[in-house]
Homo-oligomer: A and B are copies of this chain.
Amino acid sequence: MAIRLAVLGRACQSSRRVAVGDFSATPSRRCLSQDANRSIAQLLQWRPVGEAAGVVVNGYVRSVRSMKGHRFVSLGDGSSLPPLQAVVPIDQGEGLTIGAAVRLTGSWLPSPGTGQTHELHTSSVEIVGPSDAKTFPVQKKYHTSEFLRTMPHLRPRTPINATLLRMRSDAIASLTHFFASQAFTQTHPPIITSSDCEGAGEVFTLEPATKGSSAPNQSIPEPPFFRSKKYLTVSTQLHLEALAQSVGHVWTLSPVFRAERSDSSRHLSEFYMLEAEMSFVDDLGSIMDFAELMLRSLSTDLFGSSTVQQLLSRPSQTGSDLAPVDIVRRRWEGFMRPTWPRITYTEAVALLQENADMFSQKPIWGVGLGAEHEKYLAETVGGSQTPVFVTDYPRDIKAFYMRAARPDLASAESGSDTSSPGPTVECFDLLVPELCEIAGGSMREHRLMPLVDAMKRQGFAAPALDATGNAGPRSDGDLDWYVNLRRWGCPPHGGFGVGFDRLLAYLSGVSTIRDIAAFPRWFGRCDC
């Protein structure tokens, strides 16, 4: 992730004055590099030879100690988990309170103390944003995650939460590069949708807010904004499939929404889903290969970043209820391991049944796996080392759009699932210990009549099959448009979705995804 260390000064243009017509362009009064600013991350890496005076650094005061006529200021700017130490003469120390935003100028000199190779000896201190230290809620001490969650606008100022923000940013950049290198097109499927993708029901609906006093009095009620009820998307998959029929492999990192009234460490009402859809792909194995490759590429890339290395070498009391470093490190190593086991649902249920007395709920073929079952599988099949694919679930507990298993291929090639007591679909869940499912995918039913049959079986309104060129939905809200994708050139295709917040929570070691989303929203909670 060397790009992170690029010098900010590249953003700077020399001061200039242009004239187009008779108008003078306002010259820039100060451009970014004129300050010779360096981030604290850059400074901490800097071992100058000889005099290094005139160094300017911006940051926030984390703590101040007074000793021997100096103040020792611990300064953070969000670029680094470890802080910078500044040595400030006592007469420059006014306003150096916890939380203050300051601009320090000085010399970058070898430090006689322990804990840092260099330190900044200031020649001037500018308080650019004072802080009322008496009332500042984020003091330099341990705060519980629940306390910090009550103030998401201030929480990112703790060093660990700034680190989590950087990790998210690095992950987005890494994924963007990876998918481009794989010739995927990044897309923006819609957030406002006409239907609930999976029929799961727990969705948000929206409407225009009633206007305030600025609106003129109206005796005629306004017409509805849309022609029918609209929802916030729970998954972009159906729309991604349409886009995949245009430009081939597509992906998105999009917010999705669930109105679940649950109190869980694994669910939010608003979260980011990484979804990918691949065209002209014949089998589930290719989808799993790609999902695995993507996650391995991401984790390998991030593991080498200073952000993650700092996370993995943090002092144990860094707070925010993080999992122990050795456990977090094992998760990274698991993601980077070259082969992840794959097991069918039928095999999984057999394994669970052999150990049925371990579970509060009896494992039964045809019933969804419980969290205790998934946890057991992740730990046993993956040896707590790698994620585990569980494939080929019973048709009747999965979404209507998943492709029915092709018995010819199943028996000919794997041989392992011939004992399925009922029909299955070509799908997978990807399980990890502790957090259970972090991704799921499937081949999509690309044939018209099997899809129609599956929808009927699951109680959807029968699509219009007598279309004579009118390809849109009959009414605003049905899924005819999705079915109609199959009428005109629908190749075999499939895809998957990764809970991006869950993934980051797992790899960072926070105990709940409420601590990985910057402004988490869940049942009853939408602070700030």
Contact = CB atoms under 8 A, between A and B. Distances in A.
A312 B470 CA distance: 33
Interface residues of A, number: 178
Contacts of A339: 16, 18, 20, 25
Nearest to A289: B28
A473 interface: yes
Contacts of A187: 165, 168-169, 518
A138 B104 CA distance: 63
Contacts of A154: 242, 471, 484-485, 488
Interface in A71-130: 77-79, 99-101, 103, 128-130
Contacts of A215: 201
B413 A29 contact: yes
A156 to B, nearest CB: 3
A519 to B, nearest CB: 4
Contacts of A347: 23
Interface string A494-528: 00000000000000000000000111010111111
Nearest to A428: B26
A368 interface: no
A524 B231 contact: no
Interface string A1-44: 00111101011110010111101111111111000010100000
Nearest to A190: B519
A492 B180 contact: no
A303 B203 CA distance: 41
A179 B339 CA distance: 34
A467 B135 contact: yes
A246 interface: yes
B342 A39 contact: no
Copies in the complex: 2
A26 B5 CA distance: 41
Contact of A135 (B182, B272, B487, B528): B487
B481 A528 contact: yes
Nearest to A501: B188
Contact of A191 (B162, B255, B471): B255
Contacts of A229: 209
Nearest to A212: B201
A150 interface: yes
Nearest to A77: B248
Contacts of A31: 285-286, 289
Nearest to A128: B491
Nearest to A392: B26
A359 interface: no
Contact of A239 (B194, B206, B281, B528): B528
Interface string A383-419: 1011001010000000000000000010001101000
A180 B3 contact: yes
For A26, A101, A190, A485, the residue with the greatest tally of chain B CB atoms inside 10 Å of its CB is A26
A318 interface: no
Which residue, A78, A132, A150, has most C-beta atoms of chain B within 10 A?
A78
B8 A183 contact: yes
Interface string A269-308: 1101000000111111110111011000000000000000
B528 A242 contact: yes
B191 A201 contact: no
Interface in A185-241: 185-194, 196, 201-209, 211-212, 214-215, 222, 225-227, 229-232, 239
A290 B341 contact: no
A167 B167 CA distance: 27
Nearest to A172: B186
A187 B180 CA distance: 20
A211 B206 contact: no
A18 B161 CA distance: 38
B23 A135 contact: no
A16 B257 CA distance: 38
A382 interface: yes
Contacts of A239: 153, 518-519, 528
Contact of A521 (B192, B196, B281, B521): B192
Contact of A209 (B12, B18, B156, B231): B231
A145 interface: no
Contacts of A176: 172-173, 176-177
Contacts of A487: 131-132, 135-136
A325 interface: no
A259 interface: yes
Interface string A336-369: 0001111110010000000000000000000000
16 contacts: A26-B344, A26-B414, A26-B416, A29-B413, A78-B247, A135-B467, A135-B471, A135-B488, A151-B481, A157-B245, A162-B246, A201-B209, A203-B209, A226-B521, A255-B255, A476-B527
